[in-house]
Amino acid sequence: MPVLKKIALTITSAALLSGFILSPAVAADKDKSDDKQPKPPSTMSSLGGEQLGKAGTQVNLGAGAPVLPKKLSGRSWIVADAESGDVLAAHNAHWRLPPASTLKMLFADTVLPALQPTQTHTVSESELAGVGEGSSLVGIKEDHTYTVHDLWLGVFLRSGNDAVHVLSEMYGGLPQTVAAMQKHAEELQALDTVVVSPDGYDAPRQVSSAYDLTLIARSGMQKKDFREYAATASADFPGEKKKGKKRESFEIQNTNRLITGDIGVDPYQGIAGVKNGYTTHAGNTFTGVAERNGKVLLVTVMNPSAEESHAVYKEAAHLLDWGFSASGKVTPVGQLVPPKSLDTGISTGGKGAAPAADQGTGGQAKAAHASAASKGSSGVGVALAIIGGLLVVVAAGVFLVNRRWPVPGLGSRPAPEADGPEAEAPEADGPEAKDSGATADAVPAAEPAAPAAEDAGKPADKS
């Protein structure tokens, strides 16, 4: 072989092995792909701190602090201390994006206190008529009677839009529910949020942000019944009533894979909820809360671009791991603000009335726990029923809002017991699984129930 040809081959081979050369076509494709990725707005809200209004990743590492996880692909994410409200790190925290079924957290936080869990309701055809095409359904049938408790299990575990619509009608109708949710979002200072549909189904102008979803989850976790429903791994749900036969039930399982696990995803130790979602426009979204060694963290991840299976859960788990390791070693980049009714100047250390240590509808949590326990559900559901050792420190009904907003019942819990990854088929969690159409929550439930499709466009249980 001629000497010059050998030299050229050697240089080219070495360069390729070193990753220095990209073919013009590959480089062009990469540039095109980068150009197609949406960019955060140049101006975003700075509620909670100036850094939170900036685009890109915000973190202030101190001595001994671990670096952030690599390959985080979420368009927006946040990791925060659930009690103090310190935001440990964030990425485009106030970017207003479609929330998918994570918006059901706001629905539950708004509507839960208004309905008694033992109340029964017979479902009419009209109540199910407005459920969006492709929605995930728990399997509610017209002319069948359900308790409010049953319906909330359908909302939290199977992300059932049918259950959301029935509860909305019981609350006063869809328009009244949407208006109440919007008002509650404003009370929580979740000001990036615009509510159009109570179930998170894709709708024009419906948006939220990682910051807002974290505020909403923090508020919901103050309620005992909310905590228990969010942490329940599996439960029985009433089936079809057949003439002359006793009404049977079928099992439903939580679509939150950090609770139940799945192929490629282990249950996260200390996880205690809260909600996952997927729609064509929103991509995968997830807000979670977890406790480790007495520290309670919240994390929200919105629309990761990674194509690997279960990317939203894996990135959330990586951020939680980082947050537990980094706590006390980073300077917060901002704060989760308190509700307006408690906001007396969080940045200046003002005082406000303490929130109720354990808000709820009274008895709802016991009902949820009883159902989960009778079904042998995850240890998380059992653990969250233990309300001893509350993290509340209240003196004469007053406490420092910006120092501590406790999340009751999240202390010293056992690791969750997975129902078993082998119990469900693997799911595609990346963009390749997305179908056409802006549907939120997919695949109707069968009896016995197949794994729920959590938000539209995916085969069974994809968010």
Residue in 76, 104, 197, 223 annotated catalytic? 104
Q: Which two tokens stand for residue 283?
A: 């991509």
- Nearest by Cα to 321 from 87, 85, 69: 69
Q: Apex CA 236: angle with CA 109 and CA 417, to 5°?
A: 80
Is residue 101 among the annotated active site residues?
A: yes
Residue partners of 89: CB distance under 8 A and separation at least 6: 57, 58, 59, 68, 78, 79, 319, 322, 323, 326, 330, 333
Letter string b/e over residues 390-426, b meaning 16 or more CB atoms within 10 A of that residue's CB: ebbeeeeeebbbbebbbbbbbbebeebbbbebeebee
**CB of 74 closer than 8 Å to CB of 141:** no
| Cα radius of gyration rounded to whole Å, the chain | 23
CA distance linking residue 289 with residue 298, whole number of Å: 5
Q: How many CA atoms lie within 13 A of 404 on its CB side?
A: 14
Query: Which residue matches tokens 């995850």?
Result: 378
Residue in 84, 101, 234, 463 annotated catalytic? 101
Q: Which two tokens stand for residue 328?
A: 């006390």
Q: Report how far apart, in Å, the C-alpha atoms of 263 and of each of 143, 285, 379 are.
A: 38, 19, 20
**CB of 159 closer than 8 Å to CB of 279:** no
CB atoms within 10 A of CB 329: 13
CA distance linking residue 195 with residue 229, whole number of Å: 22
CA distance linking residue 100 with residue 207, whole number of Å: 9
Residue in 136, 159, 168, 219 annotated catalytic? 159
Active site residues: 101, 104, 159
